[in-house]
Structure 1
Amino acid sequence: MARCEICEKGQIKGHRISINRSQVSRRANRKWKPNVKKIKIVEDNGNVKSIYVCTRCMRSNKITRAI
């Protein structure tokens, strides 16, 4: 399972609940996975490294991408 190496975001487990019935008796297990991409970044010392980063961290400029 890929996990964001910046914010440690991973998958979340829960239940999908059927809304066709008035009783909340029908439940199915479900996983929500983060939108994680493998990109190359530049570290503080100038080295280029490949890591998994979620798109929220990419959008908020928490990393410096390598060209």
Structure 2
Amino acid sequence: MAGSSANKHDRLSAEIRRQFGDEATSRFVQTLPTFKVVADIPEHMRTLLKKLQYAEETSDCNGR
């Protein structure tokens, strides 16, 4: 059974590599908008990030 799962994983990996190397996929990706890093984060996002950081720091699930 484990061999069958590994075989499916290998086939999936090969298919993904094939599709990424495909010329049609390459043309499609070139049509996508370019993403850029925005230096100024809106205040509501800063607040959410602070809450997330606090939750991570006070969590019992952080391996400490």
Q: Which bin holds the TM-score, normalised by the shorter protein?
A: under 0.3
- When the two structures are superposed, what TM-score results if normalisation uses the length of structure 1? 0.18
Considering Cα pairs closer than 8 Å and 6+ residues apart, tell me whether 1 or 2 has the greater RCO.
1
Q: Which has the larger radius of gyration?
A: 2
For normalisation by structure 2, the TM-score amounts to: 0.19
Between Structure 1 and Structure 2, the one with more strand by share is 1
The structure with the greater share of residues assigned to helix is 2
